[in-house]
């Protein structure tokens, strides 16, 4: 995917939509005023590109740092949305893993879990991102291993 090879900037924040069946891997992130504003939101693994870092490398790095996923398989480019923070751009990638998430950054997240795409809470960080991911899941009829039917 050419989107994975693009060189990112600190305004590019790739997101990993790690999917199992009808479930999406999400974490409850607690922001503080020094990082954005005081707010707790559900989000997918992902984060900012380092200067000069390829988007795909940033996505794999963030998945490993945030949830300990080291076997991330990026299967599809879902689309791009405007980020929740002004100026941010969020390319979203469908992914799969054979690993279970681990809480590696308790200072930022309180939990990671698989959540049914149809039961997402109202405090998901970016509704546009969630709508794209939900549409992808519905349109691709993914099985538990993210294999296409």
What's the rounded mean pLDDT across residues 7-31? 96
With a cut of 60, say whether residue 145 has pLDDT above it. Answer: no
For 2-140, CATH number out of 1.10.260.40, 3.40.50.620, 3.30.1490.20, 3.90.79.10 equals: 3.90.79.10
Length of the chain: 149
| Residue 8 near residue 54, CB atoms below 8 Å | yes
3-state class (DSSP) for residue 83: coil
pLDDT in tens, 47-69: 999 999 999 999 999 999 999 99
- Non-local (6+) Cβ contacts of 64 within 8 A are 70, 72
Query: What global pTM score does this model have?
Result: 0.90
State the Cα–Cα distance between residues 100 and 75, nearest whole angstrom: 18
């Amino acid at each position: 995917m050419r989107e994975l090879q693009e060189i990112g900037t600190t305004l590019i924040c790739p997101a990993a939509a790690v999917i199992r069946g009808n479930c999406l891997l999400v974490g409850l992130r607690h922001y503080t005023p020094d990082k954005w504003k005081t707010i707790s939101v559900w989000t997918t693994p992902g984060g900012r590109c380092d200067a000069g870092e390829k988007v795909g490398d940033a996505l794999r790095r963030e998945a490993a740092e945030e949830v300990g996923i080291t076997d991330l398989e990026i299967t599809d480019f879902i689309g791009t949305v405007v980020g929740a923070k002004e100026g941010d751009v969020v390319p979203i990638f469908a992914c799969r893993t054979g690993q279970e998430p681990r809480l590696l950054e308790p200072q930022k997240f309180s939990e990671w879990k698989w959540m049914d795409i149809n039961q997402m809470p109202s405090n998901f960080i970016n509704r546009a991102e969630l709508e794209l991911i939900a549409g992808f899941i519905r349109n691709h009829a993914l099985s538990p291993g993210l294999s296409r039917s």
